[in-house]
Structures are given as structure tokens and as C-alpha cells.
């Protein structure tokens, strides 16, 4: 095989690729914000003492964890507009689909973090007369968040990578633009190789930070 690599054609498509990258980052950041906030709320519902609250929350978690993210994205894009007869901006729909998927996974990460909170701390809250919402915000949430940070960050990386799936429903993210460029220039190897390096460059710093945090947590637990 004597393939001649030529990356020069990408020079004229830098602007389009950067616009696609902007959409990708918007999708990932908004979905992560949604997953962080709603994930903790969903965690509290899953851990509720009342079955009527707990059961629907558990069903939500299991549905999004046990079905393919691609199927969820396609369902949101094509089924919801047909059901409610309302057109929703494609980027907003992508954020919704990715954010709800991440919410389910983050809820499990938070749940593990909450279960790691020492019982003595909860007993101290009761002794001090703290109300349930005060216990949750000032005692449980900070510790659960600290315990869950590595998993939450790893889930965030996964959402960045899964954001490429919205290209299948014609959202003009980095992957969609790259597909168009590769098709027009007949240069898929060069195009997709560059895009892979972009995703790698975005994900690697966060992945390395996760390792640093995990090492520090392990060292703190060994003391």
C-alpha cells in the first residue's frame, strides 16, 4: 500500500472545523453541567425511603444505563418532536439527550459517594439539630462530591466522546463537519486522524487529572 498523505486541504477547512469544535464543546459542557446538578437530585430520589419516589427514579437510571446512547439520541431527535408536535433546536436536543444520559450515570456515582459518608457525621448532624436540607447541602453533598469526583470526571470525558454521536442526526458538531470535509476532499484518513487527535487532546488533560485526584484520595485514606 502506497498511500500519499496530504493534509494541505485542511487549511481551507480550519474555520468550519473550529465551528464544529465550538458546538462539540458547547454540547459537552452543557451536558456535564446538567448531569452534575440533576445527577445529585436523582441520587437523592433513588435513595428515598418512599418506594413511590424511589421506583421511578431507579427506572430512569436503569433505562439510560441499559440502552445505547445512540438510540437515546435518535429517539429524542425524531420521537419527541412527533409526540409533542414542537420543533426543538437540534443543539438543545443534543444537550438534553446527552445530559439525561449523563444524569443517570452521575446519580450512581453520587450514590456511591453518599454511601461513603461516615455514619458518625450523620449522627452529629442529628445531634446538632440540623434540618434534612441542611444536612444534605452542608454535610452530605460536599463529601459525596469529593468522593465521586474521579468518577464524575471520567463520566464527563465519556460524554465529550459520546457527543460525536449527534453527527448522525445532522447536528453540526466536529464529527459532522469532519465527515463533510472528508467526503468533499476524498481524504478520510487525514481528516478523521486530525479529529481523533483533537478529541484526544481535549480528553487527556482531564484523564491525567483524574489519576492525580485518585492517587491523592488513596494516599489520604491510607493515613
pLDDT digits (tens, 9 = 90+) for 161-204: 999 999 998 899 999 999 999 999 888 999 999 999 999 999 99
Q: What is the pLDDT of residue 1?
A: 59
Q: How far is CA 147 from the centre of its chain?
A: 18
Domain boundaries, the chain: 14-222
Q: What is the pLDDT of residue 36?
A: 94
Task: Give yes or no for residue 46 having a pLDDT over 90.
Answer: yes
Q: How far is CA 62 from the centre of its chain?
A: 16
* Rounded distance between C-alpha atoms, residue 196 and residue 194, angstroms: 5
Residue 154: its H or E element:
helix 141-162
pLDDT digits (tens, 9 = 90+) for 11-42: 889 999 999 999 999 999 999 999 999 999 99
**97, 73 in Cβ contact below 8 A?**
yes
Q: What is the pLDDT of residue 57?
A: 95
First to last CA, the chain: 57
C-alpha cell recorded at residue 144? 459525596
CATH number assigned to the domain covering 14-222:
1.10.3720.10
**58, 50 in Cβ contact below 8 A?**
no
| Residue 147 CB neighbours (<10 A) | 19
pTM (2 d.p.): 0.89
Average pLDDT, whole number, for the chain?
A: 89
Amino acid at each position: 500500500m502506497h498511500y500519499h498523505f496530504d493534509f494541505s486541504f485542511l487549511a481551507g477547512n480550519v474555520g468550519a472545523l473550529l465551528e464544529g469544535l465550538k458546538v462539540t464543546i458547547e454540547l459537552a459542557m452543557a451536558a456535564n453541567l446538567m448531569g452534575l446538578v440533576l445527577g445529585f437530585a436523582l441520587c437523592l430520589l433513588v435513595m428515598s425511603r418512599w418506594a413511590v419516589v424511589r421506583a421511578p427514579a431507579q427506572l430512569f437510571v436503569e433505562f439510560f444505563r441499559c440502552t445505547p446512547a445512540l438510540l437515546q439520541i435518535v429517539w429524542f431527535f425524531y420521537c419527541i418532536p412527533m409526540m409533542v408536535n414542537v420543533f426543538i433546536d437540534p443543539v438543545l436536543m443534543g444537550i438534553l439527550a446527552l445530559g439525561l444520559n449523563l444524569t443517570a450515570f452521575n446519580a450512581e456515582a453520587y450514590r456511591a459517594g453518599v454511601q461513603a459518608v461516615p455514619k458518625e457525621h450523620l449522627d452529629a448532624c442529628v445531634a446538632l439539630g440540623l434540618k434534612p436540607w441542611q444536612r444534605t447541602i452542608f454535610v452530605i453533598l460536599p463529601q459525596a462530591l469529593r468522593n465521586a469526583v474521579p468518577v464524575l470526571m471520567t463520566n464527563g470525558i465519556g460524554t465529550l466522546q459520546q457527543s460525536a454521536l449527534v453527527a448522525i442526526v445532522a447536528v453540526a458538531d466536529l464529527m459532522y463537519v469532519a465527515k463533510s470535509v472528508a467526503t468533499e476532499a476524498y481524504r478520510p484518513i487525514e481528516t478523521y486522524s486530525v479529529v481523533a487527535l483533537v478529541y484526544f487532546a481535549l480528553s487527556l488533560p482531564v484523564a491525567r487529572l483524574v489519576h492525580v485526584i485518585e492517587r491523592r484520595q488513596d494516599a489520604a485514606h491510607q493515613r
